[in-house]
Chains A and B, each alone.
Chain A
Amino acid sequence: MSNEKEIDKIIHEPARLKIVLNLYMVERADFVFLMHKTGLSKGNLSSHLSKLEQAGYVKIDKTFEGKFPKTSVSLTEDGRSAFLSYRETISNLLKTERD
């Protein structure tokens, strides 16, 4: 289990993993898209997004569309490479366990 220390703890948390995975699939998404895709509540999603933003993995833009606020989220380059590296680490780990 030597790979365990390489696992990115920010992404490894299930809710954040769902967020990052869904953001990896798109160029940009709004708050509702992420709520729909992850099944997280508004508060939960906000708190996980803040953690990802602090880690530099996501970029959050807040604008207004008419009267309504609109939160737009995208994965940064760091976030994209962190997700790919996490995916590789997990795949290698599972392969090692299987072998």
Chain B
Amino acid sequence: MDALRKEIRTSEEFYNGVDGLMDIALGSAFLVATVSILTGIVLYTSWFYLFLILIIRYLRNRVTHPRIGCATYKATRENLQKGFVLSSVAGLVVLGLFLTLFLLSRNGLSDGARRALSTWLPVLVGAFIAAAVMTAGKIFLLKRFYAYGPLILVSFLLIPLVKLENTALISLICCGLAILITGLIVLFRFIRSYPVLEGGHE
């Protein structure tokens, strides 16, 4: 890679990940999704995601921009557009796959296969979420997201493997908390390392 392009990439990686806000967003979203799905209160928590977007934008303006400023990187903007198309296609594929599995489980599967499917379905869901998180890491150049992918997969893998009461709830909550706490630590270190610049509102 050309030295200048490498420098641009390094600068972009730093800028996108230095404040930990994306990690906080991912961790919170994961936690709320886990709790709402496992406790069956999905409808009541769906407003949370809108609130999350607003709060992250607010924190970017109040915490990040006065410290390191605001910049638009060409690659991030282009990747975002590609990512939107990619995630729409991936969403449709996943929806189609789950619909097929649902129809198969109702009609064309033996009891054994149906049991195996219901046991390993969480792992399949986890694999999709992990892939989505790692793709987001590639789109936004967030290296930490490459570690969150396997972490999420492992937390879903524990569900069929550990036969304890509330394994799913505990495992997924621990995973969400780990991501959230990582984000909070990064944000705390960012605030300590980068003071608000004089004239930071210019």
Binding site for B on A (CB under 8 A): 22, 24-37, 42, 65, 68-71, 87
Rounded to whole angstroms, the CA-CA distance of A22 and B8 in the bound complex is 9
Cβ of A33 to closest chain B Cβ, rounded Å:
3
- B170 surroundings in chain A (CB, below 8 A): none
A32 touches B197 (CB 8 A): yes
Rounded to whole angstroms, the CA-CA distance of A36 and B18 in the bound complex is 13
A32 touches B200 (CB 8 A): yes
Rounded to whole angstroms, the CA-CA distance of A32 and B69 in the bound complex is 4
A-B CB contact pairs (8 Å), 15 listed: A25-B7, A26-B71, A28-B71, A31-B202, A32-B67, A32-B68, A32-B200, A32-B202, A33-B71, A34-B69, A36-B68, A36-B69, A36-B197, A69-B201, A71-B202
Closest 6 CB pairs of A and B: A33-B69, A32-B69, A29-B71, A42-B199, A68-B201, A26-B71
B72 touches A28 (CB 8 A): yes
| Chain B contacts with A in 51-79, Cβ cutoff 8 A | 61, 65-74, 77
A-B contact count (CB 8 A): 67
Binding site for A on B (CB under 8 A): 4, 7-8, 11-12, 61, 65-74, 77, 194, 197-202
Cβ of B157 to closest chain A Cβ, rounded Å:
40
- CB nearest to A65 among chain B residues: B61
- From B65, B74, B194, give the contact of A27 (CB < 8 A): B74
Q: Which of A36, A37, A71 gathers the greatest number of chain B CB atoms within 10 Å?
A: A36
Rounded to whole angstroms, the CA-CA distance of A18 and B18 in the bound complex is 21
B68 touches A33 (CB 8 A): yes
B73 touches A25 (CB 8 A): yes
Rounded to whole angstroms, the CA-CA distance of A42 and B8 in the bound complex is 24
B69 touches A30 (CB 8 A): yes
Rounded to whole angstroms, the CA-CA distance of A89 and B72 in the bound complex is 28
A32 touches B73 (CB 8 A): no
- A87 surroundings in chain B (CB, below 8 A): 4
Other A-B contacts than A25-B8, A27-B74, 15 sampled, CB-CB below 8 A, are: A26-B11, A26-B71, A26-B73, A27-B71, A30-B71, A31-B199, A32-B69, A32-B70, A32-B201, A33-B68, A35-B200, A36-B67, A36-B69, A68-B201, A69-B201
- CB nearest to B194 among chain A residues: A36
- B73 surroundings in chain A (CB, below 8 A): 25-27
- B70 surroundings in chain A (CB, below 8 A): 29-30, 32-33
- A36 surroundings in chain B (CB, below 8 A): 67-69, 194, 197
- CB nearest to B201 among chain A residues: A68
- A25 surroundings in chain B (CB, below 8 A): 7-8, 11-12, 73
Given A31-B202, A32-B65, does the pair A26, B197 have CB atoms closer than 8 Å?
no
